[in-house]
Amino acid sequence: MSAASLHLAVALDGAGWHPAAWRDPAALPKDLFTAAYWAGLVTEAEHGLLDFVTIEDSLALQSTRLEGPDGRVDQVRGRFDAALVASRIAPLTSRIGLVPTITTTHTEPFHVASALATLDYVSGGRAGWRAQVSGRSTEAAHFGRRDIPGLRLESLDDPETVRLIRELFDEAADAVEVVRRLWDSWEDDAVIRDVPTGRFIDRDRLHYIDFEGSRFSVKGPSIVPRPPQGQPLVTALAHARVPYEFAARSADVVYITPHDAEQARAIVEEVRGFGNDVLKIFADLVVYVGEDARERKARLDELDGADHASDAAIFTGTPGELADLILDWRRAGLDGFRLRPAVLPADLGAITRGLVPELQRRGVFRTAYEAATLRGHLGLPRPAGRYAGSR
Amino acid sequence: MKQVILAAHFPGVNNHTVWSDPASGSQIDFAAFAHLARTAERGKFDFFFLADGQRLREQRGRIHDLDVVGRPDALTVLAALAAVTDHLGLAATINATFNEPYEVARKLATLDHLSGGRAGWNIVTSSDAFTGENFRRGGFLDYSQRYERAEEFLRTARELWDSWAEEDLVADPVAGTFAAEGAGAFAHHGAQFDIGGHFTVPRSPQRYPLTIQAGDSEEGREFAASTADAIFSRHSTLEAGQAFYRDIKSRLAGHGRSPDSLKILPGVTFALGDTDAEAQENADHIRRQQVSPQTAILLLEQLWNRDLSSYDADGPLPAIDPDVSEDSIIKGRARMYRDPLKTAAEWRALAEAKRLGIRDLIIEVTGRQSFIGSPARVAEEINEFVQTDAADGFILVPHLTPAGLDGFVDKVVPLLQERGVFRAEYETNTLRGHLGLENDL
């Protein structure tokens, strides 16, 4: 690992990660449902040479509750399909990775594979996926295809809930397996355009994936040729043992949520215990960046009527202090950080124009993009297709 | 004078698309899509159109390898094209069988926002278990329920699009109200879909993305007449086009709709040249490229429904008759001949009269270009079709990726503009606006 190989991503969600972010004077609440807003955010992230952006999504309205809508209208409600936002931005950027969230619970793995392969084509090899499960009964009701009992915080340990969580992540692992097989189902040289024999493809270089699982079976091959990266990047957010195992088994990058360096070390050890040595481990951090970070947070907490609560640690401070924290935590074995800006675009700008120059001064972050693909930014090779040479 | 509607179809995965020509480029790189879309926008086209197919075609149990194979996810490409075009409508074919309304409505509403009101949806259904092998439910839909599914799917999508009223997105930081109470709430209880909850996308610029329908059966025609904004039809001769046009338009009153509220757009092909003679030469050359010896045998198999791989493409038609049993050798594509024995007899007679081998016969009887001629002739014929009510416009299918539309836009479009039957500049910003359908909701 070279000194400059710290990886930085930014998680984009609505007006930012504080529930009242949209009411901050620096926010653009009327622009959230425009292409220009998202284009502005991603080009700013690219200006800061970040590895990638993630775009949050779910097939339900945002809610402060674990289960079901909360009826609140004083917070941002509603959002776009994240994969299409990523695609809309792709032609306007040239280097930054684009990682939309897509749920595995209610979607067709075949469509997910096609959409992400296509995103990889339109972005020239910059596509990724944050694979996410949904345990909400209200979200299942949007599809009417299956009953999910739903999750309640007070009963996360009861056997039914434990079984549901296990089932959702097993299904997610199956979905990722199908998607990865579909990406490989065309060999790289399948298109031959051989005029003498009249053949456009060599059909022996296309492969049925013949996946059979308890939730779905998928025949293949993909309708989309093998994408530029071979395998777009698969990522997952994980907070506990079952999702850690899923990430270690299925993902290229996992986001974890330690609240201090010690926890970071413990989680890294637990994740590595599943035996995936090449998995990149990023810590998530909610960030308020600037001289006035604490005051801004206090003001927003007052507007929202509650202290900002998050699964991830919350940082308030200057770019220098954030750089200190990142370098401290990094020693726990972290490959990078996914920063969740509290207010957009303000805290994103503070990352790209404050934190990044600070990290560059300290010699730990790139001063120019060195690769053209998302896998390239992370130092990951382009994988050979699993079916190549199986003829 | 009626105004001509023009749409551009990205070259498809069939033998119409010529891949053996030196000018033929990638069928999958984004640059190819961007080139064709920008060309269509330069020509002030109404919209860009992408077809769909969720399983690679097979013939005689093997993946079909003679035509272009492989294409992108339509909506994902269109979202990217929204970034490199400003006015062009962007229409995707989306299958109602292997998708769910919540997700499709969400994606189309997102595309409509991200494109400033330029989204369109060609709604198709399929009932084949072959395609179903790629999806959770498999081949669950009975053939007879295709239009029930399509109709309820579309109705449900529109309920979802209406779940946010225009004023529901408040975003008032002073009042502290982001969305109106109850924004996005919906409930739909039907035979195909029994769903309820909250939709996540606020009202999009067009409210309902443009709806296109392509089926030609009685049920398909009724479905279109009851609810579609445009029909992608296949009747490309003047007489057949006029008959179809009369039939469809006469159905509209029964659904309380005006004749102008549904646009009829046949899919057509073309071959241009400086003179009519040169255009005919080009057309013949393209036809030979489209029908390689191998493709000739394959297309013959589609009528004969038999393995004919041992036949010589330059030799005579098979003496044996077509297999008319139910089992089709083609998978992933509709059967194309209603009465194979009769068609075979016609082909034999033609081959004998003109002394044609298999390949030359196939060139003669399949896929001749709809419009062949100098730019002046093609412009005149297109206008004649529209003014005599054989069509409201056309979905043009070029034979080459990515430059197949260049000549049409450079040479034919200006002549239509001179005649005053095609816009010289975009006058509206939305797809519905281009088609004059924005007040029809």
pLDDT digits 0-9 by tens, A68-88: 899 999 999 999 999 999 999
Task: Evaluate whether A72 touches A64 at the Cβ level (below 8 Å).
Answer: yes
Examine the pLDDT at B389 and tell me if it is beyond 60. Answer: yes
Task: Evaluate whether B296 touches B287 at the Cβ level (below 8 Å).
Answer: no
Tokens of B360: 């030359």
List, in sequence order, every residue forming a beta bridge with A337; answer none if it has no partner: A8, A283
User: Could you tell me what percent of chain B has a pLDDT over 90?
Assistant: 91
Q: What angle do CA B68, B72, B77 make, to 5 degrees?
A: 130
Which of these, B203, B205, B211, lies nearest to B155 by C-alpha position? B211
Kindly determine whether residue A22 and residue B71, on different chains, have CB atoms separated by under 8 Å: no
Tokens of A365: 């972050």
Chain B window 69-98: which residues touch A at a Cβ cutoff of 8 Å? 69-73, 75-77, 79-80, 82-84, 98
A101 in a labelled binding site: yes
CB pairs under 8 A between A and B: 218
> What is the nearest CA distance from B224 to chain A, expressed in angstroms?
26
**Hey, what domains does chain B have and what are their CATH numbers?**
5-274+370-434 (3.20.20.30), 292-365 (no CATH)
Q: Give the range with max mean pLDDT: A145-154, B54-63, B220-229.
A: B220-229
pLDDT at B286: 97
Q: For residue B314, which residues of chain A lie inside 8 Å, CB to CB?
A: none
Kindly determine whether residue A221 and residue B56, on different chains, have CB atoms separated by under 8 Å: yes
> What is the nearest CA distance from B183 to chain A, expressed in angstroms?
9
> What is the nearest CA distance from B50 to chain A, expressed in angstroms?
14
What would the mean pLDDT of B287-298 be, rounded to a whole number? Answer: 96
- Phi, psi (deg, nearest 5) at residue B320: -70, 150
pLDDT (tens digit, 9 = 90+) per residue, A242-279?
999 999 999 999 999 999 999 999 999 999 999 999 99
Separation CA B305–CA B326 (nearest Å)? 10
Q: For residue B202, which residues of chain A lie inside 8 Å, CB to CB?
A: 33, 78
What would the mean pLDDT of A352-362 be, rounded to a whole number? Answer: 98
Examine the pLDDT at B346 and tell me if it is beyond 70. Answer: yes
pLDDT at B335: 66
Picking from B62, B184, B194, the nearest residue to A78 by CB comes out as B184
pLDDT at B333: 67
What would the mean pLDDT of B423-439 be, rounded to a whole number? Answer: 95
What would the mean pLDDT of B425-434 be, rounded to a whole number? Answer: 98
pLDDT at A152: 76
Strands B185-189 and B194-198: antiparallel
Q: For residue B56, which residues of chain A lie inside 8 Å, CB to CB?
A: 206, 221, 223
What would the mean pLDDT of A161-188 be, rounded to a whole number? Answer: 97
pLDDT (tens digit, 9 = 90+) per residue, A267-313?
999 999 999 999 999 999 999 999 999 999 999 999 999 999 999 99
What would the mean pLDDT of B272-294 be, rounded to a whole number? Answer: 97
pLDDT at B367: 85
Separation CA A141–CA B134 (nearest Å)? 23
**Domain A7-136+227-377, CATH number (from 3.40.630.190, 2.60.40.3880, 3.40.109.10, 3.20.20.30):** 3.20.20.30
**Is residue B441 very low, low, confident or very high in pLDDT (cuts 50, 70, 90)?**
low
Picking from A58, A216, A224, the nearest residue to B70 by CB comes out as A224
Q: For residue A136, which residues of chain B lie inside 8 Å, CB to CB?
A: none
Kindly determine whether residue B55 and residue A199, on different chains, have CB atoms separated by under 8 Å: no
Beta strand ranges found along chain A (DSSP E): 7-12, 52-55, 97-103, 128-132, 191-194, 199-201, 211-212, 217-218, 233-237, 253-256, 280-289, 313-317, 336-341
Q: For residue B68, which residues of chain A lie inside 8 Å, CB to CB?
A: 200
Which of these, A220, A283, A28, lies nearest to B58 by C-alpha position? A220
> What is the nearest CA distance from B170 to chain A, expressed in angstroms?
8
Kindly determine whether residue A206 and residue B180, on different chains, have CB atoms separated by under 8 Å: no
Examine the pLDDT at A3 and tell me if it is beyond 60. Answer: no
Kindly determine whether residue B197 and residue A141, on different chains, have CB atoms separated by under 8 Å: yes
pLDDT at A391: 64
B426 in a labelled binding site: no
B197 touches chain A (CB under 8 A): yes
Separation CA B116–CA B86 (nearest Å)? 8
B34 touches chain A (CB under 8 A): yes
- Phi, psi (deg, nearest 5) at residue A128: -145, 175
Kindly determine whether residue A33 and residue B169, on different chains, have CB atoms separated by under 8 Å: yes
Picking from A81, A144, A224, the nearest residue to B107 by CB comes out as A81
pLDDT at B334: 65
Examine the pLDDT at B259 and tell me if it is beyond 80. Answer: yes
Picking from A58, A84, A220, the nearest residue to B75 by CB comes out as A84
B102 in a labelled binding site: no
Kindly determine whether residue A87 and residue B77, on different chains, have CB atoms separated by under 8 Å: yes
pLDDT at A1: 43
Examine the pLDDT at A374 and tell me if it is beyond 50. Answer: yes
pLDDT at A4: 59
Examine the pLDDT at A115 and tell me if it is beyond 90. Answer: yes
Q: For residue B55, which residues of chain A lie inside 8 Å, CB to CB?
A: 219, 223
**Is residue B440 very low, low, confident or very high in pLDDT (cuts 50, 70, 90)?**
low
Alpha-helix residue ranges (DSSP H) falling in B228-339: 238-252, 276-290, 293-304
Preferred mutation among B30, B103, B178, B297 to probe A, highest tally of A CBs within 10 A: B178
Examine the pLDDT at A224 and tell me if it is beyond 90. Answer: yes
Kindly determine whether residue B181 and residue A221, on different chains, have CB atoms separated by under 8 Å: no
Give long-range contacts, CB 8 A cutoff, 24+ apart: B223-227: B223/B147, B223/B150, B223/B151, B224/B248, B224/B262, B225/B251, B225/B252, B225/B254, B225/B255, B225/B257, B225/B262, B226/B151, B226/B255, B227/B151, B227/B154, B227/B155, B227/B255
B240 touches chain A (CB under 8 A): no
B208 in a labelled binding site: no
